[in-house]
Amino acid sequence: MANVRQLRVPFSVGAKRRKFWLMAASALAPLSMGVSEPALAQVGCSGTASNTVCTPIGNTYSSGINVDATNLVNGFSTGINLTLQPLVVVDISGGAGGVNAVNAANSTGVSPGSADIAINVIDNVTINNAANPNSNNNTGLRIQSSGAAIINATNTTINVAGAASDWGILAFAMPNVTGTPHDVSVNWSGPSLTSATSIEGGGIQADNRGVGNAIVVASGNINVAGVGTFTTQYGLLAHAGDSLLAPTGAGNASVTFNGGTLDMSASRPRGILAWVDGNGSATATTAAGTVINVSGAERGGPGVYVYSSFGTATAANKLMANVASQITSSGPDNTSPGNLPAGIRALTGC
């Protein structure tokens, strides 16, 4: 089952140590010992976990696409390669909610070994998971991997709505005991990605809970709308060195916004956030012609934010923002300086 977990990241740029909360959906049930390859129940998908292909012919996937390899095979997890062919439509129907529209998982915590997961959305795919806005943990594309977690989605339209921890795209590289670096990477392009959530969620999150890099590359129009108080929403978020389940691992965090408009309206908005814990650099890059609009109902926030908890920026652990966007940031003027609207913000230490 998916549980809401909390991660901390500094909230202000001043000397005071304020923090805000990022709530992320993750399955944290105990690992089980299985002996067989996971079955594929979806009509329209064929193959095994290591090579699953979903076709559009006569199929609208109203209950989602799920490849679950969290049962261990001989003590180790199974690799997954999931492909959605052009014109696939995933349109989640109304019901209980709490649905990952497209999900691939082979880990529920700290794994003894590692196996990579990749989701490849080839072209012109539509994912709609907005029919249950009062439920939690609704996502469009999601990975939870004991190794590398890679999502490549081309010309993909995503619409998600929910009440807590709802993301258009959510990818976790989970920790394992091998110590081998594995990246979490999301590369999305499309006409639009829309996410509406009442408690912390956002557009795209790549979270590395082991050792390795966290990378987000996006091109297209992104709209994130959040309501409620004391919550934070994010447009594009890359987080390396997440220590929720294991000691902080080394790795860099980077976000690249290559084209389109990012619109954020929330209680405490973050347009783009590249966030690294421990040894690593945080880098945000935006292309000329891109637009970032951020508005905060409760507190202001940055259009672009690079952050490291390492304490001191060095040549090896640097904060860098290469920004060519037009940025508009608005919010109340009666809060502390660290909570005021900002175009670009850089911060080390916690």
What pTM, to 2 d.p., does this model score?
0.88
pLDDT band at 346 (very low <50, low <70, confident <90, very high): very high
For 254-282, what is each residue's pLDDT tens digit?
999 999 999 999 888 999 999 999 889 99
pLDDT at 30 over 80: no
CB 317 within 8 A of CB 281: yes
pLDDT for position 11: 35
Cα distances (angstroms) measured from residue 310 to each of 12, 214, 299, 348: 16, 16, 26, 7
% of the chain with per-residue pLDDT over 90? 64
For 50-61, what is each residue's pLDDT tens digit?
899 999 977 789
CA dist., res. 119 & res. 67, Å (int): 10
pLDDT at 327 over 70: yes
pLDDT at 19 over 50: no
CB 270 within 8 A of CB 204: no
CB 270 within 8 A of CB 232: yes
Residue type at 2? A
| 312-339 mean pLDDT | 84
H-helix segments, 236-315: none
Which single residue is written with the structure tokens 């989602």? 64
pLDDT for position 6: 34
Task: Compute the C-alpha angle 263/267/273, nearest 5°.
Answer: 55
| 108-115 mean pLDDT | 91
pLDDT for position 36: 37
pLDDT for position 313: 62
% of the chain with per-residue pLDDT over 70? 83
pLDDT band at 4 (very low <50, low <70, confident <90, very high): very low
For 209-266, what is each residue's pLDDT tens digit?
999 999 999 999 999 998 766 678 999 999 999 988 888 888 999 999 999 999 999 8
pLDDT for position 74: 61
Q: Would you say how long the chain is, in residues?
A: 350
Query: In the predicted model, what is the mean pLDDT of the chain?
Result: 85
Question: For the ranges 92-96, 207-211, 335-339, which has the lowest average pLDDT?
Answer: 335-339
